[in-house]
Amino acid sequence: MEKNEKEDEFVCRTYGKSELAQLYCPDIEPKTAVAKLNQWIALKPGLKEALANTGLQHCAKQYTPAQVRLIVDALGEP
């Protein structure tokens, strides 16, 4: 069976924080993956502020498509 290229495309949609983090870090526990993604976000100049400008709260459980786009633009596709 041939693999459809569309299956490999990253879709910019709403993601749970651990869901997105595990796409970036699939071989570690979800909680650790979220911590790692948060570290990368903090290290990327301007990304944390850009996410805050979209209304992202520290206690949020999900990223909106706009927030996911900012993360992917800064860190690359998972």
Asked whether residue 59 carries a pLDDT value surpassing 70, the answer given is yes
Contact 18, 29 (CB under 8 A): no
What average pLDDT does the structure give for the chain?
92
Tell me which of 33 and 7 has the higher pLDDT: 33
Asked whether residue 22 carries a pLDDT value surpassing 80, the answer given is yes
Alpha helical stretches, state H, 1-78: 5-8, 17-24, 30-43, 47-53, 65-75
Asked whether residue 5 carries a pLDDT value surpassing 80, the answer given is no
Q: Which amino acid is at 13?
A: R
Q: pLDDT tens across 40-54, in order?
A: 999 999 999 999 999
